[in-house]
Chains A and B, each alone.
Chain A
Amino acid sequence: MGSALGRWSRRLLVVGYLFLLVLWPSWYVVKNTFAGGVGAFLDVLQMPEVTSALTVTAQVALLAVLINVVFGVGVSLLLVRFRFPGRRVLSALIDLPLSVSPVVVGLALMLVYSPVYGWFGRPLSSAGIQIVFATPGMVLATCFVTLPLVVREVVPVLEELGDDQEQAARSLGADGWQTFWRITVPGIRWALIYGLVLSLARALGEFGAVKVVSSRIAGQSMTATTLVEARSQFAPREAYALSFLLAFAGVVCLIIVALLRAQADRSNGENT
Chain B
Amino acid sequence: MSIEVRGVSKRYGDFVALDDVSVSLPTGQLTALLGPSGGGKSTLLRIIAGLDTADEGTVSIEGVEATHLPPQKRNVGFVFQHYAVFRHMSVAKNVAFGLEIRKRPRAEVQAKVAELLELVHLSQFADRLPSQLSGGQRQRMALARALAVEPSVLLLDEPFGALDAKVRKELRDWLRRLHDEVHVTTVFVTHDQEEALEVADEIVVINQGRVEQVGTPDELYDAPANDFVMSFLGDVTRLGGVLIRPHDIEVSVTPAGPDAVEGTVARVLRIGFEVRLTVLVDSGEVVTVELTRTHARRLGVAEGATVFLTAVPGAAGV
Contact = CB atoms under 8 A, between A and B. Distances in A.
Contact of A174 (B51, B72, B129): B72
Contacts of B51: 167, 170-171
Contacts of B98: 172-173
A170 B72 contact: yes
Contacts of B85: 165
A173 B131 contact: no
A171 B101 contact: no
Given A165-B84, A165-B86, A174 B131 contact: no
A152 to B, nearest CB: 22
B276 interface: no
B49 interface: yes
A168 B71 CA distance: 10
B92 interface: no
Contact of B102 (A164, A173, A270): A173
Contacts of A263: none
B32 interface: no
A271 B145 contact: no
B289 interface: no
A267 B89 CA distance: 12
Nearest to A267: B88
B78 A187 contact: no
Interface residues of B, number: 29
Interface residues of A, number: 21
B87 interface: yes
B97 interface: yes
Given A170-B51, A172-B146, A175-B72, A186 B101 contact: no
A183 B97 CA distance: 10
Contact of B84 (A164, A186, A189): A164
A162 to B, nearest CB: 8
A236 B14 CA distance: 70
A contact face: mostly helix, strand, loop, or mixed: helix
Interface string B70-108: 111010111010101111100000000110011000000
Contacts of A167: 51, 71, 78, 80, 84
A169 interface: yes
Interface string B31-61: 0000000000000000001110000000000
Contact of A171 (B72, B88, B129): B72
B82 A172 contact: no
A252 B103 CA distance: 41
A174 B101 contact: yes
A191 to B, nearest CB: 13
A178 interface: yes
Interface string A78-106: 00000000000000000000000000000
B84 A271 contact: no
B71 A183 contact: no
Contact of A169 (B70, B88, B97): B97
Given A173-B149, A187-B88, A168 B78 contact: yes
A272 interface: yes
Given A171-B71, A174-B101, A164 B87 contact: no
Contacts of A182: 97, 101
Given A178-B101, A272-B131, A171 B49 contact: yes
A164 B72 contact: no
B131 A271 contact: yes
By CB atoms of chain A within 10 A, which of B50, B84, B145 has the most? B84
B45 to A, nearest CB: 11
Contacts of B131: 270-272
A267 B129 CA distance: 11
A267 B88 CA distance: 9
Interface string B112-145: 0000000000000000010110000000001001
A219 to B, nearest CB: 47
Nearest to B74: A171
Contacts of A183: 86
Nearest to B49: A171
Contacts of A172: 72, 77, 97-98, 101, 145-146, 148-149
Given A174-B72, A271-B131, A168 B101 contact: no
Interface string A18-58: 00000000000000000000000000000000000000000
By CB atoms of chain A within 10 A, which of B76, B80, B88, B132 has the most? B88
A165 B87 contact: yes
Interface of A: 164-165, 167-175, 178, 182-183, 186-187, 189, 267, 270-272
Interface of B: 49-51, 70-72, 74, 76-78, 80, 82, 84-88, 97-98, 101-102, 129, 131-132, 142, 145-146, 148-149
17 contacts: A164-B80, A165-B86, A167-B51, A167-B78, A167-B80, A168-B80, A168-B84, A170-B71, A170-B72, A171-B50, A172-B72, A175-B70, A182-B97, A189-B88, A270-B87, A270-B132, A272-B131
